[in-house]
Amino acid sequence: MLTPAEIAHMEEARQARAMTEIGVEAEPIMGGIMTYLEPGSWSNQVCGIGLSGKVTSDEVARIVEFFSSRGVEPKVEIAQFVDESLLLALAEHKFELREFETVLARQIADNEQIDPTPPGGWPVDVGGNKLVIERVDPDDEPTVLESWRVAMSGFTDEPREPTEKELGMHRRIVSHPHSDYLIAKFGDQIVGAGGAEYPRGDDISVGVLFGVSVLEEFRRRGVQQAMILHRVIGAQKRGAKVVVIHSTPGASTDRNSMRLGFEPCYTKVIMAVSGEGLEPSP
């Protein structure tokens, strides 16, 4: 049985590695990575830091310079197990708490048989169409674009088109060799989208389920639960000993994943530095 600290070390290392593989500017720091795409991008962040021992104020100063020189707020995600020296250095550089993030985990037993059907039964729409879950073909450009729109529907207030850099990053996520990017459909309509990254046969035996959104009019029908189970089974087939989901505390993802055997594992805090002329990143 893995402890929360062991899971956190694996997951934070996986996240840092993954962020270097999706086409963003990236620099290693404090055992993690700092990345930037463009103003307004969720990928403008630092992750995986502070878990390998003491850090210095000068290293945090590098973070501030990396982001402020690009016109965006310096932003870090840190796990609850970081060294205390990181907290002191962040305070010295005026980092402020912005939000919390819950990492939920489901450990997978040897030879466990996982039922792919959600507790409420397999989702069906009002027209009698059963839900179908498919992997996005990276060469199917219309579906790649629509999968971005559906996935982003849960994270933006108003629909919009992706920037060129956003779509380029999404294409790299869809074609990532150790991931699946999936859509959920009723008939021909895509109603849900999101991804999963799987282990690679090394010492990071964690799979992650990320970025799922379901269109509002198709929620509360078990679509998200079906997509969670589909990806957990995919992770199990690829050797995952544990599967994690990052969630905003109290969000529907918390409830849906906990109904399927996930439990809160550790907490992350998101901290940033405000400044004149610096644009926040979501």
Please, which residues have CB within 8 angstroms of residue 1's CB and are 6 or more apart in sequence?
A: 107
Residue 138, CA atoms < 13 Å, CB-side half-sphere: 12
Please, which residues have CB within 8 angstroms of residue 182's CB and are 6 or more apart in sequence?
A: 133, 134, 135, 136, 193, 194, 195, 196, 227, 230, 231
What local confidence, expressed as pLDDT, does residue 76 receive?
98
Give the tokens for residue 85: 């020296």
What local confidence, expressed as pLDDT, does residue 157 receive?
74
**Proportion of the chain above pLDDT 90, given as a percent:** 94
What local confidence, expressed as pLDDT, does residue 154 receive?
81
pLDDT class of 248 with cuts at 50, 70, 90: very high
Average pLDDT along the chain = 96
CA dihedral 155, 159, 174, 171 (to 10 degrees): -120
Structural Rg of the chain based on CA atoms: 19
pLDDT class of 110 with cuts at 50, 70, 90: confident
Please check the confidence at residue 159 and state whether its pLDDT lies above 90.
no
Please, which residues have CB within 8 angstroms of residue 228's CB and are 6 or more apart in sequence?
A: 209, 212, 245, 256, 257, 260
What local confidence, expressed as pLDDT, does residue 89 receive?
98
Please check the confidence at residue 224 and state whether its pLDDT lies above 90.
yes
What local confidence, expressed as pLDDT, does residue 199 receive?
95
Please check the confidence at residue 218 and state whether its pLDDT lies above 90.
yes
What local confidence, expressed as pLDDT, does residue 125 receive?
96
Please check the confidence at residue 264 and state whether its pLDDT lies above 90.
yes
Residue range 47-75, pLDDT digits in tens: 999 999 999 999 999 999 999 999 999 99
Domains and CATH numbers, the chain: 4-102+268-272 (no CATH), 109-240 (3.40.630.30)
pLDDT class of 232 with cuts at 50, 70, 90: very high
